[in-house]
Each structure stands twice: as structure tokens, then as C-alpha cells.
Amino acid sequence: MKHRSLFILSPSLITAAVLRAWVQAGHGIAAVWWTGPTPAEVTRRASLGGTVFPEFDTARLLQRLGVTPRKIPPLRHWPDALAEARKSGADVLVSLITMQKIPADLIALFPDRAVNFHPALLPQYRGPSPTQGMLIDGTADRFGGVTLHCLDRDLDTGPIIAQRACPRSAARDMFEWNHHLAEAAADLAARDLPAYLRGDIVARPQDPASGSYRRLARGENELGPHLTVAEIKARFSAFGSSHAQRWRDPSGQLLAVTAVAPANAGKGPLWLRRKAADGEVLLRRRTPLFQLHRMRARFGAMRRSEERAGGKA
């Protein structure tokens, strides 16, 4: 049986991958409700990567599919949501990186057919900051992955349909890890979601007393003298060499830095000496050359992902 889905989404690699896989599996898109910046704004700000590899860009992909997304207000403030969902003719609701809670009455309109793709292995790392949280916590190898689960009244607590593990250490950098997560989500959309809708998979309830919730505290994604030398090194290791970190001095000044070295390494003028909680470190300033390195890494991850998919758009 072929299905038609109402997608509630914001743009991301996972979003584009799921849309692509859903359509390639022969299913339809009844409507797309877009949260966040408008599709036109996203397209105007689109990077070179989205131009060269449009299959990874949500707005461009929808254009190619002939689907016009609808920019919606926050669902809790949109009284017409139920009527518009009924009008769409969808038999499935799919939430993708919406960054908001889906109202219970909208979920009830799709009994056992309202699902979400969450970028972590639930029940761990529920909430809005799963990937950044596990990188900071040093647990991305244990809990990195994607969970397809049913929506319920609470956030990320619905019954689990299927999961795919994506350990951080299996990817050479953050760009590649993000593509691994997107590919895992695509596989869930192509295989497990249709199997669940056919009744071949039974969702298993989560234990409400287990798991964890992760929302980054203000400034938690910044480095500073409150961290130990080991913690600073671990942060650079987790995020990889293509990701710039932000260091906040006690004065409040923010510095963009791209690498860490021991305080006695004898580096050149691009390196800054800073105090940590238990010693000192050298931090490398971000330079224009770093942006070239970052772009090369991003394009490399896109190319390898395309190759893994057999070159299929």
C-alpha cells in the first residue's frame, strides 16, 4: 500500500534524506508544513554545497519534486492546524527536526500513524540538543544514531519503531557523521516506516523512568577557563578538525579557535596561550585558510555520501 504523508519539518540533511527516501520508495507527499525561516529565505542563503549537491538541500529538493512547502506559525498558536491537516488528505504524519511539540489533537488525527525521526538512540538524549549534547558529554559513540518513534503527548517518549546506530568514531569528521545520520534516517524511512504501517513491526513502549533529556545550557557549547585541559582536548577531538570552537575569555570576549596543543608545544604567532582550570593550553586562531579546509571537508562528505547511495539523487 502506498501512503501520503503530511510532513512537518525544518531544513536539515536528515529532512532531505527522509523526503528523498520516502518518494523513491513510491510514497506520496500530501503537504509540507515548514517551520523556521521561510523556504525562500533558506534558498537565498543556500551555500555552494546546496547548489552543487541539491539533493542534500531541503528547499531545492522540494522544488525538484514539485512540492510547495507552506510556512506555518508555531503549531500551538495555529487554530487551523487540524482543519488543514484533514484537508491535506494525508494518512501519515511525519515530524522532522521541527524543534516544537506536536499538539495532542493533531497526533490523534493520525492514530498510530504519527511518527518522528530523532537523531539519537532513544530513550537516551531526548530533547532539543541530542547530537551536540552527546558530543560534549563524550557519549556519541554509545548513543549516536537515529530513532524512528511514534509521537505522543510528551517529547521523544513515544514507542520506538526502529533504530540505527551511528557511532561518531565511524566518521572522519562532523560533516561525515551528519551524513551517516541522514543515511540512517533514509533507511528507516524507506524500510522500517512502511513495514510499521503495514503492521509488520510492532512499536515497543519506552520506559518513562529510563533515559535522559538534553538541552544545552547557556554557554555550554563554549570553551573557557572553567574547563580542564583534558576536557578542552576532548571537545576538539569530539567535534573534529573541521569544526571551529568558541573560547570565551573571563573578560567576555569570544574567540574562534580551531585546534588545541600542549602549552609547551612552542607554536607560532597564530597560537594563543590560555589558562584552563588545571593548567594552560595553546589554541589556534581561526584563519581564512580554515574556511577552505572546512569547505573541502564538507564537499568531501557530500561526495562520499552520494557515492554510497550509488550516485542516485
d(CA 255, CA 72): 36
Give the count of domains, the chain.
2
Is there a domain that residue 313 lies in? no
d(CA 108, CA 121): 25
Q: Are residues 241 and 269 in the same domain?
A: yes
Is there a domain that residue 302 lies in? no
In this prediction, residue 208 carries a pLDDT of 81
Boundary (domain end) residue, out of 166, 183, 214: 214
d(CA 188, CA 94): 12
Which CATH number characterizes residue 184's domain?
3.40.50.170
In this prediction, residue 45 carries a pLDDT of 53
The full DSSP string for the chain is: ---EEEEEE--SHHHHHHHHHHHHTT-EEEEEEE-SS-HHHHHHT--HHHHH-GGG-HHHHHHHHT---EE---GGG-TTHHHHHHHHT-SEEEEES--SPPPHHHHHTSTT-EEEEESS-TTTTBSS-HHHHHHHHT-HHHH-EEEEEE--SSTT-SPEEEEEE--GGGSSSHHHHHHHHHHHHHHIIIIIHHHHHHTSS--B---TTSS-B--PPTTTTSB-TTS-HHHHHHHHHHH-TTS-EEEE-TTS-EEEEEEEEETTS---TTEEEEEETTEEEEEEEP-HHHHHHHHHHHHHHHHHHHHHTTT--
Which residues have CB under 8 Å from 36's CB, separation 6+?
10, 11, 42, 99
Q: Are residues 202 and 234 in the same domain?
A: no
Q: Are residues 238 and 262 in the same domain?
A: yes
In this prediction, residue 43 carries a pLDDT of 56
Does this model's pTM top 0.85? My answer is: yes
In this prediction, residue 56 carries a pLDDT of 92
Cβ atoms of residues 59 and 34 within 8 Å = no
Sign of CA dihedral 161, 15, 126, 80: negative
In this prediction, residue 311 carries a pLDDT of 54
Which residues have CB under 8 Å from 50's CB, separation 6+?
56, 57, 59, 60
Boundary (domain end) residue, out of 187, 214, 241: 214
- Domain that residue 273 falls in: 229-293
Which residues have CB under 8 Å from 294's CB, separation 6+?
242, 243, 244
Which residues have CB under 8 Å from 46's CB, separation 6+?
57, 59, 60
Burial class (CB in 10 A: 0-12, 13-18, 19+), 305: buried
Q: Are residues 99 and 195 in the same domain?
A: yes
Is there a domain that residue 142 lies in? yes
Is there a domain that residue 310 lies in? no
Q: Are residues 236 and 209 in the same domain?
A: no
Q: Are residues 142 and 17 in the same domain?
A: yes
Q: Are residues 283 and 170 in the same domain?
A: no
Boundary (domain end) residue, out of 214, 243, 264: 214
Q: Are residues 129 and 256 in the same domain?
A: no
Is there a domain that residue 138 lies in? yes
In this prediction, residue 237 carries a pLDDT of 95
Q: Are residues 105 and 251 in the same domain?
A: no
Is there a domain that residue 219 lies in? no
Angle between helix 58-65 and 13-24 (nearest 10): 20
In this prediction, residue 313 carries a pLDDT of 45
Is there a domain that residue 269 lies in? yes
Residue whose entry in the numeric block shows the C-alpha cell 527522509? 18
Q: What stretches in the chain show pLDDT beneath 70? A: 39-49, 311-313
Q: How far is CA 220 from the centre of its chain?
A: 18
